[in-house]
Amino acid sequence: MTSLIMIFGATGDLAHRKLFPSLYRLFERGRLNKYAVIGVARRSMSNDDFQQSVKDSVLAALGNKDNLDEFASHFYYQSHDVADSSSYAELNKLAHEIDENYQLEGNRIFYLAMAPEFFGPIALHLKSDGLTNVKGYKRLVIEKPFGHDLESAKELNKQIRTAFSEEEVYRIDHYLGKEMVRNIEVIRFANAIFEPLWNNRYISNIQITSSETLGVEERGRYYETSGALRDMLQNHMMQMVALLAMEPPIKLTTDEIRSEKVRVFRSLRTVVGDEVNDYFVRGQYGEGMMADKSVPAYRDEQMVDKESNTETFVAGKVMIDNFRWAGVPFYIRTGKRMAAKSTKIVVQFKDIPMNLYYQTEKMLNPNLLVIHIQPEEGITLHLNAKKAGGHLDAQEVKLSFANTGINAMNTPEGYEKLLYDCMRGDATNFTHWDEVAYSWAFVDKISEVWEGTKAEFPNYASGSMGPQAAEELLEKDGFFWWPVTDLDVDNCK
């Protein structure tokens, strides 16, 4: 790929932990043909110091590499004031010099790895100060959150669209870079045993869990204005719902896949007012034990209000009112300080009309398809088979595939895949404005109710799987949450 990449916020945590190592992996794999990177940030720094920080980042993430000096030699630095047009003029001059030196054909990627309040102003300056006036392509990469609600998202989109067309805006959702999230489409549309069953005739419910063992750590100030609803559900969780529920696209192209995802968002059952508490549960962690150590409650974390009404846990029932999914609940839950770090999708199939096989006086477990996203990656199909040595006794068996060994070693990190997609102009795994707008419209109705009422927090202990109300949400429908730690991928050779 041939491109000049400008990273705004190049001295920040995201650049060091994710972007520099991901760019190196692309370089190592031979996917960066002609490239250069300009790091842009407020602090003063020489090119040599910046290149050393890039090398330190790669060493910390990937270990010692022989060709690290060659990779880092393509990195340049500019101290920059995002509100000053003269800074953009200097940046444009440097960009032209580098473009000519490396023969980058006028291709530019602007990666905004900084606070969201700067997204709009930077985009406007890039346009007004001439940095988007290039003979090659220009693309803007934006991290979440894209707005704080629907109205702020609309305003931000209006600012960005003055400088970039929708096709040039790449809104990153790093979950869409995860190997098994990308695999959802393949599992569904490349297997004849699944797609005919992928509807309300054969599926009783789908559960999506994304649990974290960490608390808010040093992100208390940000989290106080976000909460789990905006931080996780509006983007990551809703994107997984869309991939699981979408109709088969006509072709596997960006526009066709996005079109089907948008149809899912349009079909979401809106919950308003008192209905919110029937469909959604919020929680906030209290103190507890994690890895045999005592951890504080959310309200005792740094930069958190002692009477905070911010949720650190959300569970909900999402209904999709279309022909395929009518009556099938999509249960989603996400939270911090939970018992296990895990992101899993469990597709629970309906029981057969009359189950003839019993086990210890009970019906056998239903068939499950489990998609393991993190920390392990793989697929497990839970079936029932004859118990060895028994008469006609049946037991549960698991058919598993895991990305272990060589597969895991060669699995690209999510940011690596997304950066490569952006360079080659593939926006399939980035979120379109219509997806952002519909998901905000859905989430805002929940936010309005929760922000207007005081919750009884904290309501779950650190080290648990959330508040009791989340269990009751499923129990009233005759279901229960499948425990994520009991659904692990078997060790596959």
Reported as a single tens digit per residue, the pLDDT across 405-454 is 444 434 457 899 999 999 999 999 999 999 999 999 999 999 999 999 99
- Chain segment 3-35, per-residue pLDDT in tens: 999 999 999 999 999 999 999 999 999 999 899
The pLDDT score that the predictor gives to residue 410 is 42
Range in 196-200, 283-287, 392-396 with the lowest mean pLDDT: 392-396
- Chain segment 217-235, per-residue pLDDT in tens: 888 998 999 999 999 999 9
Burial pattern 373-394, b for ≥16 Cβ within 10 A else e, equals bbebbbbbbbebeeeeeeeeeb
Count of beta carbons in the 10 Å neighbourhood of residue 433: 18
Count of beta carbons in the 10 Å neighbourhood of residue 133: 11
Query: What separation, in Å, do the N-terminal and C-terminal C-alpha atoms of the chain show?
Result: 35
Closest CA to 176 of 8, 357, 417, 371: 417
The pLDDT score that the predictor gives to residue 409 is 39
CA distance linking residue 374 with residue 343, whole number of Å: 5
Backbone angles phi, psi at 96, to 5 degrees: -65, -40
Fill in the amino acid letter for 184: I
The pLDDT score that the predictor gives to residue 335 is 97
Range in 95-109, 240-254, 297-311, 357-371 with the lowest mean pLDDT: 357-371
Contact 15, 111 (CB under 8 A): no
CA distance linking residue 474 with residue 429, whole number of Å: 31
Measuring CA to CA, how many Å separate 240 from each of 179, 371, 377, 486? 13, 11, 15, 22
The residues annotated as belonging to the active site are 236
Contact 173, 144 (CB under 8 A): yes
Helix (H) or strand (E) run with residue 26 in it = helix 20-28
Count of beta carbons in the 10 Å neighbourhood of residue 21: 21
pLDDT of residue 477 exceeding 60, the answer is: yes
